Amino acid sequence: MKYAIIESGGKQYKSVEGETIDVDRLVVEPGTELKLDQVLLMVEGDNVSIGTPTISGISVLAQVLAHIKGEKLTVFKYRPKKRIRVKTGHRQTYTRLLIEQIGNTKAEKVAKVEKVTKAEVVSKLEKVAKIKKTEKIEKPVKEKKPAVEKITKAVKATPVKKVATTAKTDKKPTVKKTSKTDKKPAVKKTSKTEKK
């Protein structure tokens, strides 16, 4: 089996002829050919070539299939006892590459590189998608309930009546505090015999 370890965007990827890899987003159009020169290791049968740090004269030829998004990540920032909770999501963008050739053994193929049509790219994407779908375990899909149906009748616009509003104030009513000198005079208690 022939494969190579390549570097793209500061990360290392194992590339095998005829397979796809997802690398960090590259600024290239889908359908174009891409030559990757940063080959760190190349294995062809029993022959192993190790670069210091890269192998000179050997490159990997790849075709850009599409730009895709990765799985959604949830970022949750939390500070206890301060009521701070921030929840955000993130989806990383990737470029899907189809590895066509590793090394210089097929120099004739490099000379005959032609621009690929959009239909060929779409057909290759569909093949890759079918392979990936068969690998994944399918989960049962829950049926969504239909949304409330919208009424399509014409609604007559009626003028809105203005309602008189009272001015609200933010101030609380002040309560008069009584001091000890402002107390009411004490009521004289009378005994039972004095009432008669």
**pLDDT tens per residue across span 61-115:** 999 999 999 999 999 999 999 999 999 999 999 999 999 999 875 443 434 444 5
pLDDT range class, residue 120, cuts 50, 70, 90: confident
Give the pLDDT confidence score for residue 195 in this predicted structure: 55
CB atoms within 10 A of CB 107: 9
Domain ranges of the chain: 2-135
- How does residue 175 score in pLDDT terms, banded at 50, 70 and 90? low
CA neighbours closer than 13 Å in the CB half-sphere of residue 7: 10
HEC secondary structure over the chain: CEEEEEEECCEEEEEECCCEEEEECCCCCCCCEEEECCEEEEEECCEEEECCCCCCCCCEEEEEEEEEEEEEEEEEEEECCCCEEEEEEEEEEEEEEEEEEECCCCHHHHHCCCCCCHHHHHHHHHHHHHHHHHHCCCCCCCCCCCCCCCCCCCCCCCCCCCCCCCCCCCCCCCCCCCCHHHCCCCCCCCCHHHHC
Contacts of 9 (CB under 8 A, 6+ apart): 23, 24, 26
Tell me what percent of the residues of the chain surpass a pLDDT of 90. 45
Question: What is the per-residue pLDDT for 126?
Answer: 80
